[in-house]
């Protein structure tokens, strides 16, 4: 009877405070970072944003599969790379402005609008994912993307 009471008290205390209990943790991943890098093409009106999100899998056996990414109000195509318990998602939003005589415009010409001007909703950010053994979808909301400086080649190459 004493052991039973100790177990009940332990669980009451564990569940009453905000400390996470691993076996009861509802999320399968933790958001580590969310960055965006604005890039500009060599022709006027060609630009975009590369989004990089890093998640940490709480349990590496869950085998997380990202199913969709919405960044700043736009559904983004992405690639997923897994490394140990880290999940790296890279997505690219390419934007093209209608420029008069676009084909004959000289390269390097400054364009009027920035990539930031074309973002419909900077607060609508999330990732949806599933685990290996489940068809249930989970969603992680991303509070905001932090601007990052470009590194290396950002403009996606045609394949």
pLDDT along the chain (159 residues), means of 10: 60 51 60 92 83 92 92 94 94 76 53 52 87 87 88 54
CA-to-CA dists, residue 23 to 27, 28, 53, angstroms: 11, 11, 26
Instruction: Give the phi and the psi of residue 14 in degrees, each rounded to 5.
Output: -65, -40
Q: Which two tokens stand for residue 19?
A: 């400390």
pTM score: 0.66
């Amino acid at each position: 009877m004493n052991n039973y009471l100790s177990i009940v008290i332990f669980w009451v205390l564990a569940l009453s405070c905000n400390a996470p209990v691993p076996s009861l943790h509802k999320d399968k991943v933790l958001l580590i970072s969310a960055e965006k890098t604005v890039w500009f093409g060599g022709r006027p009106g060609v630009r975009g944003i590369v989004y990089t999100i890093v998640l940490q899998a709480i349990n590496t056996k869950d085998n997380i599969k990202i199913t969709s990414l919405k960044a700043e109000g736009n559904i983004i195509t992405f690639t997923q790379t897994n490394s140990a318990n880290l999940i790296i998602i890279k997505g690219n939003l390419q934007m093209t402005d209608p420029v008069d005589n676009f084909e004959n415009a000289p390269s390097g010409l400054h364009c009027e609008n920035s990539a930031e001007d074309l973002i419909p909703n900077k607060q609508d950010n999330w990732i949806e994912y599933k685990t290996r053994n489940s068809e249930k979808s989970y969603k992680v909301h991303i509070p905001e993307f932090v601007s990052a400086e470009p590194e290396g080649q950002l403009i996606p190459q045609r394949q």
